[in-house]
Each structure stands twice: as C-alpha cells, then as structure tokens.
C-alpha cells in the first residue's frame, strides 16, 4: 500500500499517503489465509533482543532504518532483530499476531492503520508508559491516538505539495500559483502539445483519496459529509482541469510514482506529490523545479494536507520488554534522531524545532514544513471507519473524472456508500 504510507504501489515513497488504508480494513478478512508468523512476536525472544517489523522495500528508507535502529539499540542497551515484510502482507500479518498476542516489540506502521491495530488491544499505550510528546506537532500526535490514548508516534511525516518546472514557468512568464484561480490559469497556459499543465493521481484507492484530500479539506469539506458544497467545489476543480485538457484523462490510472515520471519526462509542468520524490527529481540534472504549498481556494485560506508516514508502536509482552521497547521509541523520537531520519528518508521531523532546522537547511522541504502545522490526521475523526469513507471518496473521484458523473451526483453516491 503506501508509502504514505498509505497506498498501493507507493513503493517509491513510503508515504506515501504514505499506505493502503483500505487494505488494512480488508486484512481482517484474509487472516485465515496468512501464516501464523508468531515466531517474530515480542514474547518469543530473549529480553535483551527486541524484534522490529516494517514494510520498507526501497531506498532510502530500507537502507537507513536499520542504521538508526542500531544506533538507538546501542544507546538503550539492547539488540534489535529487524524484519521487513512486503506491504501487501504487512497488516494481515500484524492483525493475526495481535489476535495471538504475539506482536513484535516494535512495529513501524502506516498511520491510517494505527487505530485498527490499537483496537485489537495488542499495543502498549505510550501515554500510560510515560512517553512524552512535548515539542511535537499536535496534529502528528493526534494521528497516533486511539480512544484518547497515544499508541503510535511518528518520528517524521510526509505530505503533499505542488511541484513546478521552473524553466516552463519562466518561459510562460508565470509565478507559482497560490490560489485555485491562479492554478487553473497557469495549467491552461502551460498546456501545449503533448505537455499538460497539471498532473495528479486520481487512481481509485487510498492513493487517489490522499491526493484529493488537500483540495477537499482546504475547501472546508469534512469526511463526515462527502457531498457538502465545499466537497463539490473541490471535485469540480479537478473535473474542470481534466475536462479542459489541462490535466490528462489518464490521471484516473496514474499512481504518484506515475505522476512523478510524467513530471520528470517534461509531460507535465506541475504536479501534486510528496517529498519522497525529491531524490529522484534531484538526480535529473537538467530538471529545474521548485516546490510550493498546495494552492488554496482564496488568498486568505491555508492548505490542509493529510499526514503521510508511519508511526512507531510497541507490542504488548511483559513489563521488562515493553519498557525497553518504549526506551527505543523515545530515542527514535529525539530531536537528533528525528532530524537524521527525516533527512535520510525525505520526511519532515515530528519535532517542531527539528522541522524548523530542516526547512532552513533544505529549502526544497520548506513548503512541506509550512504545511505540517495545519495538516490533518486521516483517521482522527473517523477512526476505524476511515478506510470505508476513503474508498467511497476514491470511487466518487473516479466517477466524476472517468465516468462522466457530475461532482454533486458522484459525491452524493459516495455519502450513501459511506453510511451503508
């Protein structure tokens, strides 16, 4: 699912959005088909060796994580046994282990999946364990809570911003857009031949919902009322971009990785994407690009983007093991380690001061740092109901952009589906 930690085929990012939250919801249905996996649970190893699991399968995350884990292991006097599981198998495996009370001591999970796993009772409440969240962004803390308790905390997060091709903008005499009107006008002017002015992912799953949520939320819409006038306004923006030819009709099949490929190839002058794409973009020496916050409906508004990324959790075992695992998490969340991890993995530190430092030292991340302060957790309001609502929203996007349905009708159907 994600790298937002949250999506299918987000193997290049880990963001992606971050995650496929919908997969997590489906995980319960396939538990019977999964292997037991109990051998990797926390309770089966010596007390000085903790087990850890994640789904990172691509650089830089899969290369940097073992290093930072080893550093924190040394600092806390333990050893950590690292395990990587394919994303599609990750949540089904954890849910099965939770049912058997054999979760690993440490698990790095996509933040939209946190509440579902916490609901099993298999996680340690980090709040009760005394882990402080002082200095962290409140929105990031919220993303790791379930029923008023903190069960997961992110060392860093990712989100979405607007990338633009500086050369194309200079040639067109344009400045980066700040409002929807400016975005629409720039996309139209930049569309020429085989090049589109704008690119985004509207694929029919959590990845598409993740990309749409900045526009949805910034318009003032709410996930409890998918067919509100504000939601219709946001979907109309996307539909008009596609309908006018300023964005490709193929956005309904493009993942975030595909969108990045289009931008790299010069087939799109702007794109919505995340910081996990920066290493690939910076490797293209002839590409000159900038990054600005997501455009807003009017100049008085601030962008509201969904938080992508993963949270550290501690599996229930015994007091001694739990205390050691919590100590490791505390180390991972420290300002120094949070900043190091974020620099290496393309994230924004959860620690406010570390984020500020990163924004100053790496200007390409400044827009993402700015957005974190107003970002939203995808599951804070809906909890374990989020995957169903997210899928209904993704279906509405598909219906409006690919099926010819009006935004109003598509979102009205989404609202009915979310209530069923």
pLDDT at 46: 57
- pLDDT exceeds cutoff 60 at 36: no
pLDDT at 29: 33
Among 344, 343, 345, CA closest to 355: 343
Exposed, middle or buried: residue 96 (CB in 10 Å: 0-12, 13-18, 19+)? buried
Q: Which of 1-15, 63-77, 201-215, 335-349 has the lowest mean pLDDT?
A: 1-15
CB environment 259-288: b (16+ within 10 A), e (fewer):
bbbbbbeebbbbbbbbbbbbebbeeeeebe
Q: Pick the more confident residue, 420 or 295.
A: 295
pLDDT at 220: 96
Evaluate the CA torsion angle 346, 350, 353, 359 in order and state its sign: positive
Q: Is 387 helix (H, G, I), strand (E, B) or coil?
A: helix
Task: Quote the CA–CA distance of 328 and 413 in Å, as a whole number.
Answer: 46
Domain boundaries, the chain: 21-158+308-372, 161-292
Q: Is 376 helix (H, G, I), strand (E, B) or coil?
A: strand
Average pLDDT, the chain: 88
Q: With contact defined as beta carbons under 8 Å apart, do 117 and 123 qualify?
A: yes
pLDDT at 316: 96
List, for residues 101-156, the tens digit of each pLDDT value.
999 999 999 988 999 999 999 999 999 999 989 889 988 998 899 999 999 999 99
pLDDT at 388: 94
Q: Pick the more confident residue, 342 or 253.
A: 253
Alpha carbon distances (Å) from 378 to 5, 101, 110, 210:
12, 27, 11, 9
pLDDT at 342: 85
Q: Which of 32-36, 88-92, 204-208, 394-398 has the lowest mean pLDDT?
A: 32-36
- pLDDT exceeds cutoff 90 at 380: no
Task: Quote the CA–CA distance of 312 and 218 in Å, as a whole number.
Answer: 28
In which residue are the tokens 């008085």 written?
300
385, two tokens = 């109901």
Task: Quote the CA–CA distance of 259 and 253 in Å, as a whole number.
Answer: 10
195, two tokens = 């090049």
- Per-residue pLDDT, averaged over 175-183, amounts to 98
With bands split at pLDDT 50, 70 and 90, how would you rate the model's confidence at 344? confident
Task: Quote the CA–CA distance of 93 and 52 in Å, as a whole number.
Answer: 13
- pLDDT exceeds cutoff 60 at 382: yes
Kind plus residue range of the DSSP H or E element containing 398: helix 386-401
- pLDDT exceeds cutoff 70 at 5: no
pLDDT at 44: 44
H helices present in 265-364, as ranges: 278-283, 319-333, 335-345, 352-361
What CATH number does the domain located at 161-292 have?
3.40.190.10
Q: With contact defined as beta carbons under 8 Å apart, do 85 and 138 qualify?
A: no
Chain mean position to CA 14: 7
- In CATH, 21-158+308-372 is 3.30.56.10: no
List, for residues 290-306, the tens digit of each pLDDT value.
999 999 999 999 999 99
List, for residues 240-283, the tens digit of each pLDDT value.
999 999 999 999 999 999 999 999 999 999 999 999 899 899 99
Q: What's the DSSP call for residue 23?
A: H
In which residue are the tokens 């996930």 written?
223
Q: Is the pTM of this model over 0.85?
A: no
Q: Is 45 helix (H, G, I), strand (E, B) or coil?
A: coil
- pLDDT exceeds cutoff 60 at 67: yes
pLDDT at 381: 84
- pLDDT exceeds cutoff 50 at 15: no
């Amino acid at each position: 699912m994600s790298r937002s930690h949250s999506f299918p085929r987000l193997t290049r990012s880990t963001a992606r959005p971050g995650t496929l939250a919908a997969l997590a919801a489906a995980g319960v249905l396939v538990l019977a088909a999964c292997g037991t996996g109990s051998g990797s649970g926390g309770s089966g190893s010596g007390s000085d060796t903790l087990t850890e699991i994640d789904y990172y399968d691509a650089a830089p995350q899969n290369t940097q994580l073992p290093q930072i884990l080893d550093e924190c292991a040394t600092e806390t006097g333990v050893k950590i046994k690292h395990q990587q599981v394919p994303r599609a198998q990750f949540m089904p495996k954890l849910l099965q282990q939770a049912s058997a009370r054999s979760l690993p001591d440490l698990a790095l999970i996509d933040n939209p999946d946190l509440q579902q796993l916490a609901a099993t009772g298999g996680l340690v409440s980090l709040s009760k364990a005394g882990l402080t969240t002082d200095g962290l962004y409140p929105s990031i803390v919220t993303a790791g809570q379930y029923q008023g308790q903190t069960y997961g905390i992110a060392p860093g997060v990712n989100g979405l911003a607007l990338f633009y091709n500086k050369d194309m903008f200079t040639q067109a005499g344009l400045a980066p857009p700040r409002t929807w009107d400016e975005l629409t006008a720039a996309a139209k002017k930049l569309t020429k031949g085989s090049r589109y002015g704008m690119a985004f992912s509207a694929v029919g799953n959590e990845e598409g919902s993740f990309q749409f949520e900045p526009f949805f939320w910034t318009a003032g819409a709410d996930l409890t009322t998918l067919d509100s006038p504000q939601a219709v306004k946001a979907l109309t923006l996307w539909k008009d971009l596609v309908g006018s030819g300023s964005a490709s009709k193929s956005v309904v099949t493009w993942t975030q990785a595909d969108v990045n490929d289009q931008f790299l190839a010069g087939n799109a002058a702007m794109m919505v994407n995340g910081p996990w794409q920066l290493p690939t973009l910076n490797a293209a020496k002839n590409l000159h690009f900038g990054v600005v916050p997501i455009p807003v409906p009017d100049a008085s508004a601030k962008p509201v983007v969904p938080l992508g990324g993963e949270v550290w959790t501690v599996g229930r075992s015994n007091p001694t093991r739990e205390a050691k695992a919590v100590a490791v998490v505390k180390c991972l969340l420290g300002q120094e380690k949070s900043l190091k991890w974020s620099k290496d993995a393309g994230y924004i530190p959860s620690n406010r001061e570390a984020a500020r430092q990163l924004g100053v030292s790496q200007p390409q991340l400044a827009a993402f740092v700015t957005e974190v302060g107003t970002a939203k957790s995808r599951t804070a309001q809906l909890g374990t109901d989020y995957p169903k609502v997210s899928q209904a929203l993704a279906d509405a996007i598909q219906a409006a952009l690919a099926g010819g349905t009006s935004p109003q009708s598509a979102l009205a159907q989404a609202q009915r589906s979310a209530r069923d």
